Structure 1
Amino acid sequence: MLDLTKLAQQMQGISQQLSLEATATRQRLEQAHKLLDLAAQNQPRLTENQQTWRDRLSFTAAEPVEPLNRRLPIPVAPAVHTVLATDGSQIAPSHHEIAYCYLINIGRIILYYGQNRLPLVDSQPEIFYRPEDLYISRQWGIRTEEWMGYQRTVSEAMVLAELGEAVRQEWGAEDGIQEVKRGTGSRGQDPALENATSKIKSSISDLQSSLPDTLALVDGSLIYWFLESLPGEARDRILPPILASWNRLRDHKIPLVGYLSASRSGESINFLRLQSCPYHEPDCITHCPGHLNGDASSPLKRAPCQVLDPLKDTALWGMHLEPGQRSPLWRSSARILDLYGDHHTYFCYVHAGTEIARVEFPAWVAEDVHLLDVALSLTLAQVQKGYGYPIGLAEAHNQAVVRGGDRARFFALLEQQMIRAGLQNVGISYKEARKRGSIA
């Protein structure tokens, strides 16, 4: 039980501290505004430095692919469109339960707008109980609970791709796409077949362009930072199926968006560090070896270019964007993206009215003007319909979340099955039993 009386005594100085931090933030924002103006004037030189000295930088700075002073209005979403979304939740394994297993539940959402169709709003559960599911990660020193989270990320991507294919099948596009693939496989053997394949491709392109605009939404970043610390063999079980799912979305011309609310990223702020660097060459390893692990909370440990720390990107773009506008596009420089191939992640910041959101998409979306407009316009429409947060993601979360009652029913069902199978001594540990029935 929380003792609020004791807690109140520790909160007396919090308002004063927050006031001091607000004043410091305003000063940093003023400096960030000046640095952004200077960086816009020197953008080609700074970009060249960022590319040349990337391996010598002690920080990750994104690369702007549009002028830094660009602020673009987001197009209005078409009346007829479709939105797909997935989100996941889980029941973690516990040795104190009646069986050591875990469950992943993926919320699935298809919202049809202007099409007079009922939405798909449900969840897809999957239970993992085999030894290869529970213990495979231990050979790499990864706890089962962590591996469960990685598997959930894979499941979210795969289910999203399945939803995209289902939507296209409803319009008859899938059969044509498969026909194109079969025809392409025989290319070069028969000129008549080649000609037929070309015509089929043209027909499918016309069909896809006539389909309602469709958006695939996921909650959170498309940059899976956790992969950097994983052994190669473990990473190869996580990343390839995710990228394969993204390939399926790309084949169907469905833009993929990762939506980050309250983002704490500083990738674009870090680009301004190149402008504030006092050295001609931004070689952190040579010039600032003692600041490679500098703590932003301690001025004594900061490098000369850390004048804006701990300011975040959202604070910077909150000063420069109007509602309905987006920032310039940025290409992330996270090293894990070297393994993404054609799916290298780009991002921008969007003033969604209630907050500055970070919106991420693969390269094939960022480099296609039409897909980029579809991604941004439908994302903003989702935020507006959800009163500050994409309604598709909110509903996917609501479908996925496993509440206390759901957990109890899950284990009750499992207990019934174990008893039917003739297993004896089925029950929870004494520790768990005592925690559930306190005598205090």
Structure 2
Amino acid sequence: MALDFQQIYRKIKEIAAGEGRRQERLADLRRRARDLLREHAHHVDELRRRVALAREYDPGLRCASPVNEPLDTRVPAPASVKEVTLLAVDGSQAAPDRHAALQYALLNVGAIVLRANSNNSPEVRTVSDLLFGEALFFEDAPMGEGLLSLQRDLKERLLLDDWTKDLSTPVIALIDGPIELWGVKGTEDSGAYRKGLQQYLTVLSRLHTRGVILAGYVDKPGADLVVRLLEIAAVDESDLRDVRRQRPLRGVSDRWLFGEPGKPLLKAGERSAVFAMQSKSGTFYEGALSLHFFYLNVGTERHPWLARVEVPHWVAEDGEKLALLHAALLRQCRAMGARPYPYALHRAHEIAVVSYDEKAQVEQMLSIELRRQGVAPDERSYKQEAKERG
């Protein structure tokens, strides 16, 4: 049966009628956020103290914590920096489908290296894996999308580790998304996550030893990490006991705070202060591996575009490494024209993506080989058959 557009249109009218009021309220909150940023810009020590206190009441608190720069810091694009070797990695996956005739999963990781002072074509690598049978289970439970994503992320990091051994410094290694290894919701204490995390921490330690400039690039970020810090600054200290409910700026994003259309706090090419990441999982990343981030306006004066760039402490504390990363990201984004995004990450995605035709070919190859071994694939579900017949 087709979509009932009359019902949907009535809902659209309701949404549009209320959106004006919501935008007025949001404008007030945004003005308040900007005022708080100016008011507390230089209260770095006091803000760190408040974040530490709030963390005692809510260990799961996720927000920014200032390091040593004022909150409204604006660092312009470096005037001139040396060339770097740039490595980017991205991954894709195909999860098991219970309606399909064969139960399997695909993981594919792509990487590209752009070498400094080289006229040679970029080098690419691909790491592909097929999971079948017992490999689709962990701790007697079927592997879901979350655990599969964990394996993909870990393979990305391991490829970075392997390739950076042979690259001349300085090397910038880019990941699409956060550098923090995300666990599966509700299973952060699972054996799979703990094992993967330990492997990743070992990789990070090796990258640190090699002096690799590691960064995670988050395009169009939706987080409110700095806004959350401003909320902690705004409430009475006694109210921090219930910090999880203290959300006076709910709806305001960091992306708006630093990149408001028409009058962005960060001008084109500028980065923000570097902040420490306060999060529950951050307790695993200690010392040189602790997580930090900054915002970067990779857009133009007429069209600001904010990205969040996550870095480990060994990059955050090194001014030269930060400048190299800052400049390289701007060059990479300019290479993509009117829609700024790091060119190397775009290419890594193109290498990693698994097309529908490739997935179908893998399924056909697997089916043929199983039949050769006398193993008959299962049938597709009747639901899937009916959907494909239309």
Separation in structure 2 between the aligned mates of residue 317 and residue 27 of structure 1, nearest angstrom: 16
Query: Which consecutive segments of 4 or more residues in structure 1 shift more than 4 A?
Result: 76-79
Q: Could you say what secondary structure the match of 1:347 adopts?
A: strand
The one of 64, 69, 89 equivalent to 1:86 is 89
Q: Does 1:262 align with 2:232?
A: no
Deviations 1:372-410 (A, max 9, x none): 222222122212212311111111112222222111111
Q: Tell me the equivalent position of 1:27.
A: 28
- Determine if contact 1:83/1:112 at 8 Å carries over to the other structure: yes
Whether contact under 8 Å (1:419, 1:426) holds in the other structure is no
SS in 1 for 2:165: helix
The 8 Å contact of residues 77 and 374 in structure 1, kept in 2 or not, is answered as no
Label 1:76 to 1:407 Cα distance change in 2 as closer, same or farther (>3 A). farther
- The equivalent residue for 2:364 is 412
Q: Go from structure 1 to structure 2 and tell me whether the alpha carbon gap of 1:87 and 1:41 turns closer, same or farther (over 3 Å shift).
A: closer
- The TM-score, its normalising length taken from structure 2, stands at 0.87
- Residue 41 of structure 1 and its aligned partner are, at CA, apart by 4.3
Stretches of structure 2 that go unaligned for 5 or more consecutive residues are: none
- Residues 228 and 336 of structure 1 are in contact (CA less than 8 Å); yes or no, is this contact kept in structure 2? no
Query: Within 5 A, what are the aligned runs for 1:301-316?
Result: 303=246, 306-316=247-257
In structure 1, which of residues 226, 237, 258 is the aligned counterpart of residue 195 of structure 2?
237
- Residue aligning to 1:136: 138
**Based on CA coordinates, which of the two structures has the bigger radius of gyration?**
1
Work out the CA distance in 2 between the residues paired with 1:111 and 1:41. 40
C-alpha change, 1:426 and 1:267, in structure 2 (3 Å) is closer
Aligned residues: 375
State the match for 2:305 in structure 1.
355
Which deviations, in whole Å up to 9, do the C-alpha atoms of 1:269-318 show, x marking residues without a partner? 111123311x3x34533xx4xx74x4xxxxxxxx4xx3221211111112
Kindly state the Cα deviation for residue 232 of structure 1 after the two structures are TM-superposed: 4.8
Helix, strand or coil: the match of 2:112?
A: strand
1:62/1:268 contact within 8 Å kept: yes
- Counterpart CA distance in 2 for 1:282 and 1:433 is 61
Deviation for aligned residue 1:158: 0.7
> Secondary structure of the equivalent of 1:159?
helix
Matched with 1:171 is none
What does 1:103-122 correspond to in 2, within 5 Å?
103-112=106-115, 114-122=117-125
2 CA distance for matches of 1:355 and 1:137?
43
Cα distance in 2 between the residues matched to 1:135 and 1:77: 52
**Structure richer in helix, relative to its length:** 1
Moved more, 13-22 or 348-357: 13-22
Pairing of 1:372-411 with structure 2 (within 5 A)? 372-387=322-337, 388-411=340-363
Distance 1:410 1:124 in 2: 15
**Paired position in structure 2 for 1:191:** none
Query: How far off its partner does 1:69 sit?
Result: 3.1
Identity %: 26
State the shift of 1:258 in Å.
Answer: 0.6
**Which consecutive residues of structure 1, in runs of 5 or more, have no partner in the other structure?**
169-210, 295-302
Query: Could you report, residue by residue, the CA deviation over 1:208-256 in whole angstroms, capped at 9, with x for unpaired residues?
Result: xxx4x32111111123453673225332221112222222322322211
- Contact map agreement 2:61 2:280 (CA 8 A) in 1: no
- Which whole-Å CA distance do the structure 2 matches of 1:18 and 1:29 have between them? 16
Q: Which amino acid aligns with 2:292?
A: Y
Report matched runs for 1:175-194 at 5 Å.
Answer: none
CA contact (8 A) 1:83 1:215 kept: yes
Deviations 1:115-151 (A, max 9, x none): 10111245321111251x2111445xx7433211111
Residues 60-93 of structure 1, C-alpha deviations (whole Å, 9 max, x = no match): 3321111223211131564733221111111111
Judge conservation of contact 2:150–2:184 (CA < 8 Å) in 1: no
Q: TM-score when scaled to structure 1?
A: 0.78
1:217 matched to which residue of 2?
174
Give the aligned residue type for 2:350. N
1:266-285 correspondence to structure 2 within 5 Å: 266-277=224-235, 279=236, 281-285=237-241
Query: Does structure 1 conserve the Cα–Cα contact (< 8 Å) formed by 2:171 and 2:213?
Result: yes
Contact 2:81 2:323 (8 Å CA) reproduced:
no
Distance in 2 (CA, whole Å) between partners of 1:333 and 1:425 is 49
Say if 1:110 and 1:163, in contact at 8 Å, map to a contact too.
Answer: no
Q: What secondary structure, in the 3-state scheme, does the structure 2 residue paired with 1:123 have?
A: strand
Work out the CA distance in 1 between the residues paired with 2:42 and 2:125: 51
Corresponding residue for residue 152 of structure 1? 152
